Every structure is written in structure tokens, then in C-alpha cells.
């Protein structure tokens, strides 16, 4: 192998390493652009997404903001079938203080029914307790949902829960 051949081989290796490095950076950047799965229309799937609560709008017009919580308040809908009801699937979540597990049923387009099955009984601070009471008082009265991209709104009579999608890996 001549001196020129060695120089060409060295440059070729350098170019290959540079290309590999650039490909790795591009793949990481691409993955970071959109960590949440989306349906073809850009909407985050209902099932398998962690829906973090942003606020509760109560029937009497009070708006409770989840930013008062020390821990995230969320819902996760799974495709796991519920044991007691073959038509229902499992949901789980947190009020920001206590964890709960229950069932949900998608009844038709935009119609949903939620049932809490079990909940932990941790003592909450007063401000979190007020938030949790609103959570629990209205969750089982939800009868409709709507999604737009990474937002989920669960409606109950004269009120709503508003959520934002959060990647389960975060």
C-alpha cells in the first residue's frame, strides 16, 4: 500500500466516522422532536398516554388549577380488560395525593363512563385535599370527552377536567 493509498484510506475512515456521528445526532434530534405517539391526524392516542391534569372547572364556576399540587395529578387509560366488566378497560391515576385504579368504557364517539374501583387513603394537605375532593366528586360523573392534539377534556354536567399529554417514558 502506497503513501497515497494510506492517506485515502485514512480520509475514508474519517468521513465514515463523521457520517456515523452525524446520523446519530440526527436520530437523537428526530426522536426528541416528538416523543408522544400520534394518530395520523396529529392527535395523541387516548389509550397508553399519561394525561396530566391542568385544571378542573367545577359546576359552580370555580376553576381549580393543578399547579397547587406537589405531585402530578394524572390519568392513564390502558387497553387491559377490566376483571368485573368485559366491556370496560382499566384506568389508573393520581389525584395529586392519592393513587386510584378503576374502569372506563368508551360508549360511542366522544361518550365515556368512568368508575373508581380502589383508592389509597393517604392524608392530604388542606389545599390538595380540596383539589382531591373536586377530582373524586366529579370523575365518575364524566360523560363525554374531546381530544385535540395533546389535549384531553373530560366533560361532566356544567364542568370539565382539562389534561395535557405527557410521555410515559418521561
Identify whether residues 12 and 59 lie together within a single domain. no
Identify whether residues 26 and 77 lie together within a single domain. no
Within a domain: residue 86? yes
CB 108 within 8 A of CB 124: no
Within a domain: residue 44? no
Identify whether residues 56 and 140 lie together within a single domain. yes
Query: Higher-confidence residue: 42 or 110?
Result: 110
Identify whether residues 24 and 74 lie together within a single domain. no
In order of 52, 77, 91, 104, 120, the CA distances from 74 in angstroms are 4, 10, 10, 15, 15
Q: Which residues pair with 104 in a beta bridge?
A: 89, 114
Query: Higher-confidence residue: 21 or 153?
Result: 153
Identify whether residues 90 and 120 lie together within a single domain. yes
On whether the pTM is more than 0.75, the answer is no
Q: What is the distance between the alpha carbons of residues 159 and 138, in angstroms, rounded to a whole number?
A: 8
Whether 68 shows a pLDDT value over 80: the answer reads: yes
Any long-range contacts for 64-69 (C-beta under 8 Å, 24+ apart)?
64/130, 64/131, 64/134, 66/96, 66/131, 68/127, 68/128, 68/131, 69/96, 69/97, 69/128, 69/131
Number of domains forming the structure of the chain: 2
Identify whether residues 107 and 141 lie together within a single domain. yes
Within a domain: residue 101? yes
Whether 46 shows a pLDDT value over 50: the answer reads: yes
Which residues span the domain enclosing 95?
50-166
Within a domain: residue 97? yes
CB atoms within 10 A of CB 162: 16
Whether 86 shows a pLDDT value over 90: the answer reads: no
47 secondary structure, DSSP code:
B
Identify whether residues 148 and 67 lie together within a single domain. yes
% of the chain residues with pLDDT over 70: 72
Backbone φ and ψ of 134, nearest 5°: -65, -40
Whether 107 shows a pLDDT value over 90: the answer reads: no
pLDDT at 80: 86
Q: Once rounded to an integer, what is the mean pLDDT over residues 22-41?
A: 42
pLDDT at 3: 66
What does the pLDDT look like over 134-159, one tens digit per residue? 999 999 999 999 999 999 999 999 99
CA 137 to chain centre: 22
pLDDT at 82: 76
Within a domain: residue 104? yes
Amino acid at each position: 500500500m502506497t503513501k497515497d493509498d494510506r492517506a485515502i484510506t485514512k480520509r475514508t475512515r474519517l468521513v465514515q466516522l463523521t457520517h456515523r456521528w452525524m446520523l446519530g445526532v440526527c436520530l437523537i434530534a428526530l426522536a426528541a422532536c416528538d416523543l408522544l405517539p400520534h394518530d395520523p391526524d396529529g392527535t395523541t392516542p387516548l389509550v397508553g398516554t399519561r394525561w396530566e391534569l391542568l385544571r378542573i372547572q367545577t359546576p359552580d364556576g370555580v376553576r381549580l388549577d393543578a399547579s397547587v399540587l406537589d405531585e402530578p395529578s394524572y390519568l392513564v387509560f390502558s387497553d387491559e380488560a377490566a376483571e368485573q366488566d368485559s366491556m370496560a378497560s382499566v384506568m389508573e391515576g393520581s389525584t395529586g395525593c392519592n393513587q386510584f385504579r378503576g374502569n372506563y368504557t368508551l360508549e360511542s364517539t366522544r361518550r365515556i363512563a368512568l368508575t373508581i374501583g380502589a383508592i389509597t387513603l393517604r392524608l392530604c394537605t388542606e389545599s390538595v385535599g380540596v383539589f382531591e375532593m373536586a377530582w373524586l366528586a366529579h370523575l365518575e360523573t364524566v360523560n363525554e370527552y374531546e381530544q385535540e392534539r395533546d389535549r384531553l377534556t373530560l366533560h361532566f354536567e356544567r364542568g370539565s377536567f382539562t389534561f395535557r399529554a405527557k410521555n410515559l417514558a418521561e
